[in-house]
Structure 1
Amino acid sequence: MTEKMAATRRWIFLSCCIVCLLSACQLSQAQNRTFEIDYLGNTFVKDGKAFRYVSGSIHYMRVPKEYWRDRLEKMYAAGLDAIQFYIPWNYHEPEIGQYNFEGQRDFVQFIKLAQEVGLLVLIRAGPYICGEWEFGGFPAWLLKENPKMVLRKMDPTYIKYVDTWMDKLLPMLTPLMYENGGPILMVQIENEYGSFYTCDHDYMAHLRDKAREHLGPRALLYTTDGSGDGFLKCGTVPGAYVTVDFGNSFNPQKSFQPQRDYEPFGPLVNSEFYPGWLDHWGYPHSTVNLDVFSKALDLLLDYGANVNMYMFEGGTNFGFWNGANYAPYQAVPTSYDYDAPLTEAGDITDKYIAIRQVISKYKQLPSMPIPKNTTKTAYGKVEMSFMATVQDALATLCPKGPIKSQYPLTMEAIGQWQGFVLYRHTLLGDTPSEPKTLDLSGVRDRAYLMINQVPQGIFDRNGQKTMNITLKVNETIDILVENMGHIGFGSEMNNNSKGLIRNVTFGGSILTGWSIFPLTVENFKPSSLSGIYRDKPFRNGNLTTPSFYVGKLHVPKEPTDTFLDMSAWGKGQNLIMSSSMINVGRYWPYVGPQVRLYVPKPFLAPSPTINYIIMFELEQAPCDTADKCTVEFVDQALINATPHKPNFEREETKFSRKRISV
Structure 2
Amino acid sequence: MNWKTCLFVVTLYLSVCTAAESRSFTIDYKNNRFLKDGAPFQYISGSIHYSRIPPYYWKDRLLKMYMTGLNAIQVYVPWNFHEAVPGVYNFAGDRDLEHFLDLANQTGLLVILRPGPYICAEWEMGGLPAWLLQKPNIILRSADTDYLQAVSNWLAVLLSKMRRWLYHNGGNIISVQVENEYGSYFACDYNYMRHLRTLFRFFLGEDMVLFTTDGNTDREMICGTLEGLYATIDFGTDTNISAAFGRQRRFEPKGPLVNSEFYTGWLDHWGDKHAAVDSQKVSRMLGEMLAMGASVNMYMFEGGTNFGYWNGADHDTRYRSVVTSYDYDAPLTEAGDPTEKLLAIRDVIRQFRDVPVGPMPPATPKLAYGFVTLQKVGNISGLLDILSPQGPVQSKYPQTFEELKQYYGFMLYRTALPRNLLEATPLISPLNGIHDRAYVSVNGVYQGLLERDTALVMNITGKQGDQLDIIVENMGRVNFGSKINDYKGILSNLILGKDVLTDWLIYTLDIDGVIANGWPQSNQGHVRPGPVREQADGPMFYTGTLKPTGLAWDTFIKLSGWTKGQVWINGVNLGRYWSKRGPQQTLYVPGPLLSTSQPNNITVLELEKAPTQTKVLFMDRPQLNATGGQA
The TM-score normalised by the length of structure 1 is: 0.91
Helix, strand or coil: the match of 2:483? helix
Amino acid at match of 2:614: C
CA distance in 2 between counterparts of 1:576 and 1:231 reads 43
2:568 aligned with 1:575, yes or no? yes
User: Structure 1 pair 42/431, CA: closer, same or farther in 2 (3 Å)?
Assistant: same
Contact in 2 for aligned 1:576/1:582 (Cα 8 Å)? yes
Query: What CA deviation, in whole Å up to 9, does each residue of 1:248-293 have, x standing for no partner?
Result: 1574221101110011111000000011011110010011111122
2:631 aligned with 1:642, yes or no? no
CA distance in 2 between counterparts of 1:388 and 1:537 reads 13
Give, in angstroms, the shift of residue 536 of structure 1.
Answer: 14
Residue in structure 1 matched with residue 73 of structure 2 by the alignment: 83
Query: What CA deviation, in whole Å up to 9, does each residue of 1:57-87 have, x standing for no partner?
Result: 0000101100000000000001001000100
2:228 aligned with 1:202, yes or no? no
CA distance in 1 between counterparts of 2:278 and 2:421 reads 61
Residue in structure 1 matched with residue 126 of structure 2 by the alignment: 136
CA distance in 2 between counterparts of 1:36 and 1:204 reads 22
Give, in angstroms, the shift of residue 16 of structure 1.
Answer: 5.6
Give, in angstroms, the shift of residue 533 of structure 1.
Answer: 3.4
Give, in angstroms, the shift of residue 17 of structure 1.
Answer: 4.9
CA distance in 2 between counterparts of 1:537 and 1:39 reads 74
Residue in structure 1 matched with residue 550 of structure 2 by the alignment: 557
CA distance in 2 between counterparts of 1:568 and 1:72 reads 37
2:630 aligned with 1:630, yes or no? no
Give, in angstroms, the shift of residue 535 of structure 1.
Answer: 11
Residue in structure 2 matched with residue 658 of structure 1 by the alignment: none
Residue in structure 2 matched with residue 467 of structure 1 by the alignment: 458
Residue in structure 2 matched with residue 173 of structure 1 by the alignment: 162
CA distance in 2 between counterparts of 1:636 and 1:117 reads 28
CA distance in 1 between counterparts of 2:560 and 2:110 reads 41
Contact in 2 for aligned 1:121/1:184 (Cα 8 Å)? yes
CA distance in 2 between counterparts of 1:408 and 1:521 reads 21
Residue in structure 1 matched with residue 476 of structure 2 by the alignment: 485
Query: What CA deviation, in whole Å up to 9, does each residue of 1:614-637 have, x standing for no partner?
Result: 110001111x3xxx2110111011
CA distance in 2 between counterparts of 1:434 and 1:55 reads 63
Helix, strand or coil: the match of 1:370? coil
2:52 aligned with 1:69, yes or no? no
Q: How does 1:280-319 map to 2 (within 5 A)?
A: 280-319=269-308
CA distance in 2 between counterparts of 1:249 and 1:256 reads 14
Give, in angstroms, the shift of residue 314 of structure 1.
Answer: 3.8
Give, in angstroms, the shift of residue 505 of structure 1.
Answer: 1.6
Helix, strand or coil: the match of 2:320? coil
User: Structure 1 pair 56/42, CA: closer, same or farther in 2 (3 Å)?
Assistant: same
Amino acid at match of 1:81: N
Amino acid at match of 1:531: H
Residue in structure 2 matched with residue 148 of structure 1 by the alignment: 137
Q: How does 1:131-280 map to 2 (within 5 A)?
A: 131-144=121-134, 146-248=135-237, 251-280=240-269
CA distance in 2 between counterparts of 1:373 and 1:532 reads 42
1:566 to 559, 582, 587: 559
Please tell me the root mean square deviation across aligned C-alpha atoms, in Å.
Answer: 1.9
Amino acid at match of 1:449: V
Give, in angstroms, the shift of residue 325 of structure 1.
Answer: 3.7
2:100 to 90, 110, 134: 110
Residue in structure 2 matched with residue 453 of structure 1 by the alignment: 444
Query: What CA deviation, in whole Å up to 9, does each residue of 1:347-386 have, x standing for no partner?
Result: 0100000000011111111113211110000111111100
Larger Rg: 1
1:393 to 383, 389, 392: 383
Q: How does 1:263-412 map to 2 (within 5 A)?
A: 263-325=252-314, 327-332=318-323, 334=325, 337=327, 339-412=329-402
Give, in angstroms, the shift of residue 592 of structure 1.
Answer: 0.5
More moved, 350-359 vs 466-475: 466-475
Query: What CA deviation, in whole Å up to 9, does each residue of 1:175-222 have, x standing for no partner?
Result: 110100000000000000000010011111110110000001111100
For structure 1, list consecutive stretches of 5 or more residues without a partner in the other structure: 1-8, 652-662
- Number of residue-to-residue matches in the alignment: 622
CA distance in 2 between counterparts of 1:570 and 1:18 reads 69
Q: How does 1:488-637 map to 2 (within 5 A)?
A: 488-494=479-485, 496-522=486-512, 523-524=514-515, 525-526=519-520, 527-528=522-523, 530-534=525-529, 544-577=537-570, 581-607=571-597, 609-622=598-611, 624=612, 628-637=613-622
Amino acid at match of 2:151: V
Helix, strand or coil: the match of 2:158? helix
CA distance in 1 between counterparts of 2:140 and 2:595 reads 43
Amino acid at match of 2:540: S
Contact in 1 for aligned 2:421/2:464 (Cα 8 Å)? no
CA distance in 2 between counterparts of 1:333 and 1:83 reads 23
Helix, strand or coil: the match of 1:584? strand
Helix, strand or coil: the match of 1:353? helix
Give, in angstroms, the shift of residue 152 of structure 1.
Answer: 0.7
CA distance in 1 between counterparts of 2:324 and 2:586 reads 14
Give, in angstroms, the shift of residue 545 of structure 1.
Answer: 2.5
Residue in structure 2 matched with residue 97 of structure 1 by the alignment: 87
2:18 aligned with 1:28, yes or no? yes
Contact in 2 for aligned 1:174/1:215 (Cα 8 Å)? yes
Helix, strand or coil: the match of 2:581? coil
2:115 to 125, 132, 141: 125
Give, in angstroms, the shift of residue 530 of structure 1.
Answer: 4.9
2:412 to 415, 422, 444: 422
Give, in angstroms, the shift of residue 328 of structure 1.
Answer: 3.1
Helix, strand or coil: the match of 1:413? coil
Helix, strand or coil: the match of 1:493? coil
Helix, strand or coil: the match of 1:23? helix
For structure 2, list consecutive stretches of 5 or more residues without a partner in the other structure: none
Give, in angstroms, the shift of residue 333 of structure 1.
Answer: 6.3
Contact in 1 for aligned 2:379/2:530 (Cα 8 Å)? no
The TM-score normalised by the length of structure 2 is: 0.95
CA distance in 1 between counterparts of 2:224 and 2:588 reads 37
